[in-house]
């Protein structure tokens, strides 16, 4: 028989079990398989009741984030061979409530996302007939990397502040706020700054940079938080020294 590898998969069915437990499955160690392929193999061939989220299998829909041997990973972009000879431990994303097996509850994140007003805010809309807002490639580069977030939530599962304080709005939401703040077409920065300053936790961020390190899309949420703090501090100084200078 071809070589196999053992997956230790966290199972939790709230209607049956009081708490999560691990279940082992042996799967073929196919060199082209990612962890997600192994989960699909389990679901199709071994145990149809295993639950997890996935869709695109190309690292862009953000559904398949899980803990793989303790690290937050996109399971569709994580090859089995990297863990040979195993075992590979697959768990739901850390710091989120578990719904079932590998599925976590993300409604809290969804409301945080909305809270930062992730849309273009303008005092005045230009009519479509007048064409596009001009934006040079350099202006685009200012916010581009913050727009690459796929909401996979690996950064939340890596962030020690999220672990301590569930109210912390979190790396991805701050990066998204910064994505709009830095967009030359946007005029909503002040509104967004107000939102961020109302949320706890941001000052607790110690810049250990875990969010940036684990991001599968090379977004730099730690950089966004840094930018935000600098802006907040200068705004605070400005409001002290020259209260008229804010807007």
Largest CA distance in the chain: 76
38 binds, options other proteins, ligand FES, none, Cβ within 5 to 8 A by partner type = none
Q: x-or-dash pattern for other proteins, window 124-143, by CB under 8 A? A: -xx-x--xxxxxxx-xx--x
64 counts as binding ligand FES under rule CB under 6 A: yes
Q: Give the residue ranges of DSSP H helices in the chain.
A: 35-41, 107-115, 137-144, 154-158, 160-164, 171-181, 189-198, 210-214, 221-241
Cα–Cα distance measured from residue 223 to residue 226, given in angstroms and rounded to the nearest whole number: 5
Specify the 3-state DSSP secondary structure of 109. helix
8-state DSSP, 79: B
Work out how close the CB of 76 gets to ligand FES at its nearest, in angstroms, rounded to a whole number.
3
| Residue of the chain from 21, 120, 230, 233 that contacts other proteins (CB under 8 A) | 120
Cα–Cα distance measured from residue 174 to residue 171, given in angstroms and rounded to the nearest whole number: 5
Query: Which 15-54 positions form the footprint of other proteins (CB under 8 A)?
Result: 15-16, 32, 43-45, 47-49, 51-54
Number of Cα atoms under 13 Å in the Cβ half of residue 16: 8
Q: Which residues bind other proteins (CB under 8 A)?
A: 13-16, 32, 43-45, 47-49, 51-63, 77, 99-101, 103, 105-106, 110, 113-114, 117-120, 125-126, 128, 131-137, 139-140, 143-144, 147-148, 150-151, 176, 180, 183, 185-186
Residues that bind ligand FES (CB under 6 A): 54-57, 59-64, 74, 76
């Amino acid at each position: 028989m071809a070589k196999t590898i053992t997956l230790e998969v966290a199972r939790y069915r709230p209607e049956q079990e009081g708490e999560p437990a691990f279940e082992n499955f042996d799967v073929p160690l196919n060199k082209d398989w990612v962890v997600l392929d192994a989960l699909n193999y389990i679901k199709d061939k071994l145990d149809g009741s295993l639950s997890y989220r996935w869709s695109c299998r190309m690292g862009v829909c953000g559904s398949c984030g899980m803990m793989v041997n303790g690290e937050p990973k996109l399971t569709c972009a994580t090859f089995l061979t990297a863990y040979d000879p195993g075992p590979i431990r697959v768990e739901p994303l850390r710091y989120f409530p578990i719904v079932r097996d590998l599925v976590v509850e993300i409604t809290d994140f969804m409301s945080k996302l909305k809270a930062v007003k992730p849309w273009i805010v303008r005092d005045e809309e230009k009519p479509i007939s007048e064409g596009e807002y001009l934006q040079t490639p350099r202006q685009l580069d200012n916010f581009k990397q913050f727009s690459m977030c796929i909401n996979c939530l690996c950064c939340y599962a890596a962030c020690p502040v999220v672990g301590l304080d569930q109210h912390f709005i979190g790396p991805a939401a701050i990066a998204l706020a910064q994505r709009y703040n830095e967009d030359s077409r946007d005029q909503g920065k002040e509104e967004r700054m107000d939102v961020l300053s109302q949320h706890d936790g941001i000052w607790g961020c110690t810049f250990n940079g875990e969010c940036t390190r684990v991001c599968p899309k090379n977004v730099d949420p730690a950089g966004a938080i840094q930018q935000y703090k600098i802006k907040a501090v200068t705004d605070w100084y400005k409001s002290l020294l020259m209260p008229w200078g804010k807007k």
